Amino acid sequence: MNFENLEVKKQDRIGWITINRPEKLNALNSETIKELQEAFVSYQKDPEVSVVILTGSGEKAFVAGADIGELAGLDAAAGREYVLKGQELSRIIENFDKPVIAAVNGYALGGGTELALACHIRIASDNAKMGQPEVKLGLIPGYGGTQRLARLVGKGLAMELILSGKTIDAAEALRIGLVNAVVSLDELKGACEKLAASMAANAPKALEYAIEAINGGLDKTLDEGLHFEADLFGKTCATEDSKEGTKAFLEKRKPEFQGK
């Protein structure tokens, strides 16, 4: 895959997507959003990729935000269409049937925080800065920030962060549950690869159904969610990988999953 604003590579069943606009602190513009969609769709179809890691180039920024130059002249109709494209990308990532890890290096503001929120897991470097400063521009988060942030850290904290537009550091992001872990910048790549490798060793269909169960159950009552989980558990029981996994356990050997 050849992209203008991304670097894409795969190794050891891990697919890397690196946003590469260092002169703009990896800010999201329309072309980058389009390329990100294409990259994720490509990895979706790639049987050699079990986990995806998303990050930004350099040490300063994961994604510093949206490209303000594109936002400046939007009217109501154009603004709505603009954010719908970003929301489409975030839904692709959120519902991706392979684990997606955000390696948050440096600034992840506005659309950067929203992009990280769409990922299944967020690992931050100790120099990370996160926040939703859109109100300072007379705007609100538009790529899902008002919805996912409240679901992740709670309504009160989401209100505080979005209405103040303040930026928080990695330690605070960890404290409120916005990120899963914080490591040094030098350790970020290795920590994400280690976590990705532990996931890639598991049965692909089980990973897919687990993601579906968690995402799909959030908007259900507990009883509805339990029924949903039971249905998906039943589907895993019918996979070849579940037969291999249970057989390997009983035979005290490492399973050889085929994603079937």
The set of catalytic residues is: 114, 134
Give the Cα separation of 249 and 243 in Å (integer).
Answer: 10
Residue 77 CA, chain-centre distance (Å), reads 28
pLDDT at residue 223, as a whole number: 95
Give residue-wise pLDDT tens across range 81-131: 989 999 999 999 999 999 999 999 999 999 999 999 999 999 999 999 999
Give the Cα separation of 40 and 49 in Å (integer).
Answer: 11
- Measured from the Cβ of residue 162, the count of other Cβ atoms closer than 10 Å reads 20
Delimit the domains of the chain by residue range: 6-200, 204-250
Report whether 61 contacts 24 (CB < 8 A).
no
pLDDT at residue 253, as a whole number: 84
| Whole-structure pTM value | 0.93
Query: What topology does CATH give the domain 6-200?
Result: 2-enoyl-CoA Hydratase; Chain A, domain 1 (3.90.226)
Enumerate residues 6+ apart whose C-beta is below 8 A from 161. Answer: 131, 132, 149, 153, 168
pLDDT at residue 219, as a whole number: 87
Degrees to nearest 5, angle at CA 133 with 117 and 186: 55
The segments of the chain whose pLDDT lies below 70 read none
Same fold flag, 6-200 and 204-250:
no
pLDDT at residue 258, as a whole number: 81
**Architecture (CATH level 2) of domain 204-250:** Orthogonal Bundle (1.10)
